[in-house]
Structure 1
Amino acid sequence: MTGYACASQRLRPAAAPEHAPELVLGVEIRSVNSRFLDLGFRLSDELRASEPALRERVQALLKRGKVEVRAWVEGRTDAGWRAPSSAELQKLLAMQDQIRTWMPQARELSVAELLQLVARSTPLPSALTEAVSGLFEQVLHDLRSAREREGARLAQTLHERLQQLQALAQQAQPLVPAQVEQQRLRFLERWNEAMGHTATASVSAPAPAAAQERALSEATAYALRLDIAEELTRLQSHLKEIGQLLERGGEVGKRLDFLIQELQREANTLGSKSSSLALTRIAVDMKVLIEQMREQVQNLE
């Protein structure tokens, strides 16, 4: 399922000078459709230690989707640059002199580079782990809300497809006895034609009554092989089960996957047994609707 959520929080560095710039903690989670749970984390170096706990939390709440988690800490650009202290400048210049002693070809630090080094030296908050965890819970909750809204829309679409499939099944139901009787009469007609051609040529031909009984028996057996009543019963049972799962909610994606496969199997059998154009059209329409449902079900958790 797809979803997106993002939030940020201001942090006050621990033991920071009065004019030290504020830090901003940001968390972003993206989710796209996938049959399985595929997690990806892109965390800044300061937050690497929090990855196992964040990963465990995502796995506990989400079961499907390709999920990308980003978290970072950065200085506020609107806080302005703070003036470095004399001690900081002396320390940086001493380090520069030491480096140039060993590497004479190294160039001197520019003003911009000095300011960047001072900004990077700002200490991080001592409760950074707790801040990340709290902000992550907020963003994860927002993501789940977005996925639930999408799931409700998908469930409504699936209900509409179920109603259309049930209507097609009802259209096919009256065709069952007609198809069986049609095949029985067709088989009997061909048998009588064959018996008429061979009755005068064979002295061992069976009596008319016995021949008719045999024709009826074989015609009935042939018609039973084309009977679609069992397939329609199973198809309606699967439709009912899918409707109940959608009403119940929860983690139903994988079970719906299985039921959609069963629906596809029954529709294929229905089409293969069809001996009329009307029933063939119904089977084709069913396959189209079932394929549409299959694509939607893969997005449900």
Structure 2
Amino acid sequence: MSAIEQTAAPVAPAERDSPLIVRFEHVTHWYGNVVAVNDISLELGPGVTGLLGPNGAGKSTILHLLSGFLSPSRGSVTIDGVSPWRHPDVFRTVGLVPERDSVYAFLTAREFVTASAKLHRLPDPKAAAERALDLVEIEQAADRPIQTYSKGMRQRAKVAAALVHDPKVLLLDEPFNGMDPRQRLHMMDLLRGLGGQGRTILFSSHILEEVEKLADTVQVVVAGRLAASGDYRTIRRLMTNRPHVFVLRSTDDRALAGVLIASGAVQGVSLTAGGLEVHASDHGTFTRELAKVTRAAGIGLREVVPSDESLESVFAYLVGS
């Protein structure tokens, strides 16, 4: 990015009434010799988008690029055409909830959120803080020091601080970590409501079920690359319809191998010391037929274990598909 681009003064997104567009164009970022984000292009509009990927995939780097904490090594990151890097006015429209605790533990939540409101130069910081604390349902504990909070409560205090200036773009890095089921459901409802109001919400997670319950669209990131993008139903279908590997243990593994190899849902079988390894081409058909064919053959199933269900193996398949 040239010095002219960095010092230009475009209209800040906060001054526009139209929906904001977040755009990555061929973005690469590296730390020394490590490539954290590799040639990613994507566009986000109003609604809730899930950034899904295993730990170390580059999700936090993407959020930090968008929040203006990092500059792209190559490519461009913009919010409605404005780069967040070295353009502080953009921060009026952006709220960030980092994964790591970024709170002063000796402050109360009310003091912490009020301080955030003052940093944004809001006309009535106390009133803004009260609204944000009420949104995350933490007002009853707002006068306790944050160091006495559980991790889930600290997460909610961070969300309140990020919401205090009513941002149009909200970025959250693993926001549900440490939350109990009730807190999680409330936070999902809150984020879903904010997205429905026309805000652009981007949250990262390594848990598919979290993304599936909340996100309108999903961006899947693996090893710094964008592996898949689209409606979560499409992503779920890609993950479900991929080849699967199971290890079976039965009363007669050799006979079971002969039965299964005739199935159209099985690509191959192999006898191992740990049992019968089965490569299924169709997860649903295989799991439905397995009990029927073993019963018909008079073979007793002792154990059925999926051996490739880790997120890393699922994402690796998406990268190669």
> Which has more strand, going by share of residues?
2
Give the TM-score taking structure 2 as reference length: 0.24
Larger radius of gyration: 1
> Which has more helix, going by share of residues?
1
